[in-house]
Amino acid sequence: MIASWQLQEGNVDAALNATHAVVEQSYETQFVDHAYLEPEAGVAWLDTDGVITVRAATQVIEHFRDLARILRVPDNRVRVIAPYVGGGFGGKEDMTVEPYLALVVQRTGRPVKMVWSRSESLLAREKRHPMKLRYRTACDAEGRLLAQDIGIVADGGAYALLSALVLLYATTCSQGPYRCPNVRIDARVAYTNHTPASAMRGFGAMQVALGYEGQMDLLAAELGLDPLELRRRNFLEGGDTLAVGQTLDTHVALPDLADRVEAALGPKPEPSTRGRRVGRGVACNLQPYGRCVWLNDWSSAWVGFELDGTLVLRIGVPDIGGGQASSLVQLAGEVLGVDPAEVVIHIGDSALTPLTGTTTATRQLYMSGNAVLQAAGELREELRPLAAELLEAEPDDVEFAGGGARSGERHVAFRDLIAAAAKRQVPWHRLSIFRAPGGDAWRSEASWRGRVFPDFTYGCHAVDLEVDPETGRIDVLRYLAAHDVGRAINPQSVEGQIEGGVVMGLGYALSERVVYEDGVNLTGTFAQYLIPTAVEAPEIEPIVVESGEGVGPFSARGIGEPPVGAVAPAVAAALADALGRRLTVLPFTRERVAEA
């Protein structure tokens, strides 16, 4: 056993025995690979000061400390650089090529390169945890949830890695985005002789969505209610408390998300030809963003002007293709009144950029975004009195915009403002640290209650699909995905994250699986591991809701992971609608659909 978490709130057995309807079902998810565009790769060398420098595709430049421990050298003798990375999804959170590169450089003193082939990546890289879920869910005659009895068993593979934390996320989120007064959860993750499992987009909260959403569909059928209506009767609201003891401090926009999805759907399509069937499914989810509060997370950023008035950001964030760097540029530009196209950002260097922590857990916009917002705001206030003096205005009347400071019709360009600052010894750059609110660490006792995460992002998805029952072929006709992002810092990036998350979720739902036989991974190429291509990917309609409530900069919420969670349960619901039978084992391959 790697880890176990147990939780009980209320009297589950009494509620199950004195209720109107109880549904029980088991669900099973599979091993999944990250299948990122860029496999694991890196180069390393010994610089002129005797520092071992590793330039690698990584989500964590702070691994320089781990490398120093491996090499038995001081931390300042190792440097990690993360260039723009071709995808991570959690697969480059643990170290991959970095220790091998560093060790060879230490032993030989020569530059070295290591690049994994796609086959090596598929065979050896950590995977998403497969889980076996057991749910018993009870409700009253009106459809309001009374009890959930949940069992989770996860396969952690041969090494522990991040399994305990993945299971914690699954435990916390397993009740779904629904009120329920009586909840019992028994969650365990065990060692096996499979490839180790570790971080992957969704991080445990994704797997359990198949279970809690399947239960809502079964209850709706049992009561003769519309699936969305049953969900509306049970949605969490701001101020509610999860079974784990975390109170939801920000707005829960699920009713609005459901309404928008329902309004956009329209009538269900007719089958394209005789013998085919069309099904419609909906699913909702919640996904935390930011790391567990007891980790006392922090992120730092440097924002400053050059003497010619141009703006520079220095921040250690690894950009893994999610637009992390561009969002930070936008934030600094917004605060200081600089066109983002005029801003230069330096990222991902453990020696030369302020450290920000991992690009994981949908945390960079929350953490690094707030660090940039804080640094830029403090710099603006440092410069405000001087700008007011140059403009012959009151400080409160000064606005930073248009490449300088202005008050009424008067304007001073940043070039002139920074030149004056240099003469007056007024700082024109700022290093700032943002510290997330802390908390008490989770303890293994079932009685523990408290805050686990900074906040959650909520979603509601719907899908129309067509099925050929004879061959098992599935064609996704239309997909809608609504999420409350608090505030869309970069609307195009937000839509891209939603669309990409849905496509990844469709692969998880319909085709992707890593197959083992007697502990041997048999899935070594993309001919065997079937990810969706542009041909299979449907038109996806993102519905972006901005409630204005979130704990990120300008009240933004994280959106990197949330879109992937609701896809598989929405597809499962649509298949049940089309076939009259619910599939509960992922992926829903043609063979399994035809057998149903």
* Residue corresponding to tokens 């530009």: 333
The CA-CA-CA angle for residues 509, 513, 518, to 5°, reads 145
Q: How many CB atoms lie within 10 A of CB 400?
A: 21
CB atoms within 10 A of CB 580: 11
Query: Could you write out the DSSP letters of every residue in 189-237?
Result: EE--SSPPB---TTTTTTTTHHHHHHHHHHHHHHHT--HHHHHHTTB--
Inter-helix orientation angle 364-391/414-424, to 10°: 80
Residue 165, helix vs strand vs coil: helix
**In this structure, what DSSP letter does residue 441 have?**
P
265 φ/ψ angles, rounded to the nearest 5 degrees:
-70, -50
Q: Which residues contact 83 (CB under 8 A, 6 or more apart)?
A: 55, 57, 348
Question: What's the CATH fold of domain 298-435?
Answer: Aldehyde Oxidoreductase; domain 4 (3.30.365)
* 567 contacts 502 by C-beta, under 8 angstroms: yes
* CA distance linking residue 87 with residue 175, whole number of Å: 30
How far from the centroid of its chain's Cα atoms is residue 84's Cα? 18
Residue with tokens 């600089």, as numbered in its chain: 338
pLDDT at 448: 86
In the chain, the amino acid numbered 314 is: R
β-pairing, 277-289 vs 455-467, is antiparallel
| Residue 586 to residue 462: CA distance in whole angstroms | 18
pLDDT score at 443: 81
Residue 112: partners with Cβ closer than 8 Å, 6 or more residues away? 43, 44, 45, 101, 104, 105
DSSP secondary structure code for residue 250 in this structure: S
Contacting residues for 302 by C-beta, under 8 A, at least 6 apart = 313, 314, 315, 353, 354, 375, 429, 430, 431, 432
What is the Cα–Cα distance from 132 to 154, expressed in whole angstroms? 6
Query: Is 95 within 8 Å of 10 (Cβ atoms)?
Result: no
Residues 6+ apart with CB under 8 A from 223: 21, 139, 141, 143, 230
CA–CA distance, 317 with 85 (Å, rounded to integer)? 11
Cα(136)–Cα(15) distance, integer angstroms: 11
Fold annotation for 3-33+127-291+443-595: Aldehyde Oxidoreductase; domain 4 (3.30.365)
In this structure, are residues 410 and 393 in contact, taking their beta carbons and an 8 Å threshold?
yes
Q: How many Cα atoms are found within 13 Å in the side-chain-facing hemisphere of 212?
A: 33
Angle (CA) 128 213 163, round 5°: 25
With 0.85 as the threshold, say if the pTM is over it.
yes
The 8-class DSSP code of residue 501 comes to: H
Is the backbone peptide bond immediately before 354 cis, with ω within 30 degrees of 0?
no
Q: Which helix (H) or strand (E) holds 433?
A: strand 429-435
| Contact status, residue 6 vs residue 446, Cβ threshold 8 Å | yes
Helix axes 209-223, 567-579, angle to 10 degrees: 30
Please say whether the beta carbons of 220 and 282 come within 8 A.
Answer: no
Nearest to 366 by CA among 563, 504, 561: 561
Distance of CA 266 to the CA centre of its chain: 30
- Tell me if domain 3-33+127-291+443-595 and domain 41-124 are identical in fold: yes
Domain boundaries, the chain: 3-33+127-291+443-595, 41-124, 298-435
Distances (CA, A) of 119 to 65, 67, 96, 273, 566: 29, 26, 15, 40, 29
pLDDT digits (tens), the chain, 596 positions: 999 999 999 999 999 999 999 999 999 999 999 999 999 999 999 999 999 999 999 999 999 999 999 999 999 999 999 999 999 999 999 999 999 999 999 999 999 999 999 999 999 999 999 999 999 999 999 999 999 999 999 999 999 999 999 999 999 999 999 999 999 999 999 999 999 999 999 999 999 999 999 999 999 999 999 999 999 999 999 999 999 999 999 999 999 999 999 999 999 999 999 999 999 999 999 999 999 999 999 999 999 999 999 999 999 999 999 999 999 999 999 999 999 999 999 999 999 999 999 999 999 999 999 999 999 999 999 999 999 999 999 999 999 999 999 999 999 999 999 999 999 999 999 999 999 999 988 887 778 899 999 999 999 999 999 999 999 999 999 999 999 999 999 999 999 999 999 999 999 999 999 999 999 999 999 999 999 999 989 999 999 999 999 999 999 999 999 999 999 999 999 999 999 999 999 999 999 999 98
Per DSSP, what are the bridge partners of residue 131?
154
> What CA–CA distance (Å, rounded) separates 348 from 356?
9
What is the CB neighbour count within 10 angstroms for residue 308?
A: 9
Amino acid at 324: Q
The rounded distance, in Å, linking the Cα atoms of 191 and 344 is 46
* Rounded Cα–Cα distance for residues 584 and 277 (Å): 19
Q: Classify domain 41-124 by CATH number.
A: 3.30.365.10
What's the DSSP call for residue 569? H
Spatial distance between the Cα atoms of 61 and 68, rounded to a whole number of angstroms: 12
Helix (H, G, I), strand (E, B) or coil at 99: helix
